[in-house]
Amino acid sequence: MSTNPLKGWSVDPAQIVMVGEDLQRPECILAERDGTIWSADARGGVMRIAADGQQQLISQKQAGAFDLNADPAASLLTGTLPNGLAFAPNGDFLIANFGTDRLELMDRSGQTSVLFEDIDGKWLGKVNFVLRDSKNRLWITISTKINPWSDAICKSVCDGAIVLMDEKGPRVVAEGLYFTNELRLDAGEEWLYVAETTAKRVSRFKVTADGLGPRETYGPSDLGRGLIDGIAFDAAGNLWAAMVFADRLVAITPDGDAIELLNDGDAAATDAFEAEFASGKAVSFETLYATGGTICPWLASITFGGADLQTVMLGGLRASRIPTFRSPVPGLPMIHW
């Protein structure tokens, strides 16, 4: 068996190149072959960043309430908060909106429609992420029914779910999960992997003809400091994971081991967070807000891009730019690639 290219490798902060300016909550990032980058934007849409650095905000209605200096709690917890992104087959944007609690479809002019916000009139909770597979089915995560979401940053809350949306409409295919966050399919679309944020773990489910099999833990049962948020596969089978609040980047190898690739957190603030989280009570916003590093504050997602898929882009809830660096292994191509 060949050596895993991530073993013995780590991110060199000196080699990081920043992309974008004055971004608002670039939590999720999509990359295209021509070098165009799209990042979720708290003003109510997505920011287009061309290969030459030119920026254009695309949104149906611009929201102006996001201001971390004036009111960080209101900015991060309420309003219109485009979160997870995916491309529709025609190149439009599927937006999991964490603020409006719905799955939206926005075309490249900003016209928006609602694809999903309830099932049989029942509100399910905070819509976090959306993934499209090769059959054009949509996999959607619902993190929690608690609003504001910060009150669910607690290891005793497990009201998250996964929704499958296909020609039959939306239906819940997994529930009882710990703050369900980003999800990914493996190369053969045989297994669906999901970040259970407040369980500090990745779970996976066998994909069946009409849903999902039972849950099983993938890799370590506890990934350590911080809470797992975004995940992405590389071509060698490593599952990269962003550990928000500790601002760590780790990878789960095909052997099930965890490798730390970057640690940019504030150690003292992370200690305080971990102590409060261990109590079993919801972590206060003040404790949460004290955490984070300087490279990508509140590190939340990983995207592979560039012509060779070896440029890694990091998304952060409190970032205003996108850190990028070169990986020793390309990413697993997304369905739109």
The 10s digit of each residue's pLDDT in 72-120 is 766 566 666 889 999 999 999 999 998 889 999 999 999 999 999 998 8
Domain residues for the domain of 58 are 29-326
Task: Give domain status of residue 196, yes or no.
Answer: yes
Task: Give domain status of residue 294, yes or no.
Answer: yes
Task: Give domain status of residue 51, yes or no.
Answer: yes
- What are the helix (H) ranges across 165-261? none
Task: Give domain status of residue 11, yes or no.
Answer: no
Task: Give domain status of residue 56, yes or no.
Answer: yes
Taking the C-alpha atoms of residue 116 and residue 146, their distance in angstroms, rounded to an integer, is 19
The pLDDT confidence band at residue 65, using thresholds 50, 70 and 90, is low
Tokens of 89: 């087959």
The pLDDT confidence band at residue 2, using thresholds 50, 70 and 90, is confident
Q: Is the predicted pLDDT of residue 1 greater than 60, yes or no?
A: no
The CATH number covering residue 83 comes to: 2.120.10.30
DSSP string for residues in 55-83: EEEEESS------TTT-HHHHHHSS--EE
* Mean pLDDT along residues 294-307: 97
Task: Give domain status of residue 88, yes or no.
Answer: yes
Report the candidate in 182, 190, 254, 242 with the shortest Cα–Cα distance to residue 218: 254
**What is the chain's length?**
337
Is the bond leading into 148 cis (omega within 30 degrees of zero)?
A: yes
pTM attached to this predicted model: 0.96
| Tally of structural domains, the chain | 1
Task: Give domain status of residue 318, yes or no.
Answer: yes
User: Tell me, what's the pLDDT at 71?
Assistant: 73
Taking the C-alpha atoms of residue 100 and residue 106, their distance in angstroms, rounded to an integer, is 14
* Sheet order of strands, 211-218 included: 180-185, 191-196, 201-208, 211-218
**Element spanning 230, H or E:** strand 227-233
